[in-house]
Amino acid sequence: MGLLRIATAPLGTAGGDARGAMTDETRRGARGMNDESPPGADPYTAYDDFNLPSYVGLPSFQKLPWVTDADALAARAPDVAIVGAPFDDAVSHRPGARFGPRAIRQASYHSGSINSLALGIEPYDWLDVVDAGDAPVTPMDVERAHAVIERKVLEVARSGAIPIILGGDHSITYPSASAVAAAVAPRRLGVVHFDAHADAANATWGNLRSHGAPMRRLIESGAVAGRNFVQVGLRGYWPGPETLEWMAEQGMRWHLMTEIEERGAEAVVADAIAQALDGPEVIYLSVDIDVIDPGMAPGTGTPEPGGMLTRELLRAIRQVVGSVELAAMDVVEVAPPFDHAEVTAAAAHRCVLEAISALAARRRDAGGSPRR
Ligand SMILES: [Mn+2]
């Protein structure tokens, strides 16, 4: 049996560098997935980790370099950093969103390089995007989990990166947005919140950190002014009149799904942006995947029929991120045990790609320079 001779070119590492040492050269220098040059004489031409198939190697988001250490993040100061918040002990109904970050990271059939057809941009030519790993949560202790999520998001935000947090149940928005509000201060934070649910209850069976209550906590704590907390896509049969009354007293604005049906998503989202920015300068975008109709996104804990189309939400994210200064974003409530064919995880993954692409397009359109 002949031995394969593989010494002529270094093979790509099927794992990248867990210390986040992948350089721009290794990311861009080697052959890409769709290299248009003819096959070379050497069939073992190196493909670095970024250019290997999505299912090969360590599953960082979009095969971006892992930069999990706070000091390394601060030194690198990336433009955007993905953060996992794999916690779901605050749910009122079906659990499973703790598996969301891993499922979202894996829901790609691309190698690292991407080209947004909608926006005509290769975002990683314009932005340094890394995967900062997960907050070190443990189950069964909501306070501890929220504390480590808040610390992790604060580390990322203080590095100068825009955190994009993958949930996790929606309770994680309380520590995440609290951290972001602290990091951007004294500039004030507005929130655009896509969801079937208002999540502004006082408590759920007595628990103040429930996934049905984070928006109330953020307003009560002063992290976000009620009048700049704007919700889009609410529908179904919750909350009750007392909670809606409390929301109105805070000046919260919300746009029901019925309004989207009547006016179209683009007009409604334009209003939501203006309301959230009526005072604040920067926006936290919170996307509960259950804003999408469960027919298109079944993998979630509290599915409510009659929601947005996936394509409407993706367009809405381009609209928001393209017209505000984004401070942070989260995508929550992806519960893989209830998903089918990874359709919900893929929708969440694309929500993130739309945001990254829109951030890159914003930099380009503002006259910025590409990174290379
Ligand atoms: Mn929801």
Which domains occur in the chain, in start order?
1-58 (no CATH), 65-365 (3.40.800.10)
Rounded to an integer, the average pLDDT of 291-307 is: 98
Query: Could you give the strand order of the β-sheet that contains 80-85, starting from the edge strand earlier in sequence?
Result: 129-134, 80-85, 162-167, 325-332, 282-288, 189-194, 229-234, 253-256
pLDDT of residue 207: 95
Looking at per-residue pLDDT, the higher value among 363 and 31 belongs to 363
Q: Give me ligand 1 centre to Cα 12, in Å.
A: 41
Q: Give me ligand 1 centre to Cα 357, in Å.
A: 25
Q: Give me ligand 1 centre to Cα 212, in Å.
A: 8
Q: Give me ligand 1 centre to Cα 170, in Å.
A: 7
The answer to which of 16-25, 110-119, 212-221, 309-318 has the lowest mean pLDDT is: 16-25
DSSP for 30-78, written as a single string = S--TT--SPP-S-TT----GGGS-TTSS---GGGPPB--SHHHHHHH--
Q: Give me ligand 1 centre to Cα 96, in Å.
A: 14
Q: Give me ligand 1 centre to Cα 308, in Å.
A: 13
pLDDT of residue 31: 61
| pTM, rounded to two decimals | 0.91
pLDDT band of 6, cuts 50, 70, 90: very low
Q: Give me ligand 1 centre to Cα 296, in Å.
A: 15
Q: Give me ligand 1 centre to Cα 332, in Å.
A: 9
Q: Give me ligand 1 centre to Cα 199, in Å.
A: 7
pLDDT band of 42, cuts 50, 70, 90: low
